[in-house]
Amino acid sequence: MAKTTPAKFVRQVRQETSKVTWPTRKETGIATLMVFAMVAVMSLFFLMVDGIISWGIQLIVG
């Protein structure tokens, strides 16, 4: 296992952090809206599937 001093570790972390491409405020907003839209679509999908399964079980059980 390599020996790394705390100061060297902090320098390496800062160096790696500087390589990160951070999203703009606009990109973050668009991604957030897309997540909310997909959550809404998937919620409706699972509501529909749950209703179909529930209907099918009620049909079988009586």
CA distance linking residue 54 with residue 62, whole number of Å? 12
Predicted pLDDT of residue 27? 98
Predicted pLDDT of residue 62? 85
Q: How would you classify residue 4: left for phi > 0, otherwise alpha for psi between -120 and 50, otherwise beta?
A: beta
Residues 38 and 46 sit within 8 Å (Cβ to Cβ): no
Across all residues in the chain, what is the average pLDDT?
A: 95
CA distance linking residue 42 with residue 38, whole number of Å? 6
DSSP state of 22: P
Given a cut of 70, the residues of the chain with pLDDT beneath it are 1
> Alpha helices, DSSP H only, in 1-62?
6-18, 25-61
